[in-house]
């Protein structure tokens, strides 16, 4: 809880699951949980993806 952030209490509208997926960040949102199983699974998938990318970046920096 480092900083105060803007409340996010509405579900954003998305044209497609791809749109939704693109908008997801690592921390997730209440909106994603409210989207139910689909939202939860997409958030987890995105989290894994970000984690992998971070690992690659860290490895690259280590190599430097």
Partner 1 sequence: MKNNKKKVLLIGWDAADWKIINPLMDAGMMPALESLVNNGVIGNIATLDPPLSPMLWTSISTGKHADQHGILGFTEPAPEGKGVRPCMITSRKVKAIWNMLSQSGYKTNVVGWWPSHPAEPINGICVSNFYQNATDEYGKEWPLAPGTVHPRNKEEIYKELRIHPGELTEAHILPFVPDAAKIDQEKDKRLSSIGKITAECSSIHAAATYILENEEWDFTGVYYDAIDHYCHGFMNYHPPKLPYIPQNMYDLYKDVVQGGYIYHDMMLSRLLELAGDDTTVILTSDHGFHSDHLRPKGLPEEPAGPAWEHRDYGIIVIKGPGIKKDERIYGATLLDITPTILTLLNLPVGRDMEGKPLVQAFEEIPKINYVDSWEVIDGDCGMHPSDIQRDPIAEQAAMKQLIDLGYIEKLDDKIERQIEKTVDENRFYLARVLANKNKFTEALPIFESLYKKDYSVIRYAFRYAKCLDALGRYDEAYSVIEKIISSEESKPDKDEKLDDKKNVESQDSHTDKTKKREYPQLYLLKGTLELSRGNYDEALLYLKKAEESDPRLPQLHQQLASVYLKMRKIDDAEAAVNKALDIDPESAIAHNIMSSVKLRQKDFESAADYALNAVGLLYNYPTAHFHLGVALAKLGMFERSAEALKVCLKIAPGFIGACKYLAYIYTFQLKDKEKAAAYIEEIKRLRELSK
> Residues in the site for partner 1, rule: CB under 8 A?
1-5, 7-11, 25-31, 33-38, 40-41
Of 21 and 31, nearer to partner 1 (C-beta) is: 31
Question: Closest separation between CB of residue 6 and partner 1, Å?
Answer: 8
Cβ 61 to partner 1, closest distance in Å? 25
Helix (H), strand (E), coil (C) string for the chain: CCCCCCCCCCCCCCCCHHHHHHHCCCCCCHHHHHCCHHHHHHHHHHHHHHHHHHHHHHHHHHHC
Nearer to partner 1, 10 or 57 (CB): 10
């Amino acid at each position: 809880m480092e900083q105060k952030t803007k409340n996010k209490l509405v579900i954003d509208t998305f044209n497609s699951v791809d749109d939704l997926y693109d908008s997801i960040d690592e921390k997730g949102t209440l909106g994603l949980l409210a989207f139910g199983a689909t939202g939860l699974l997409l958030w987890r998938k995105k989290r894994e993806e970000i984690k992998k990318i971070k690992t690659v970046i860290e490895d690259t920096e280590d190599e430097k």
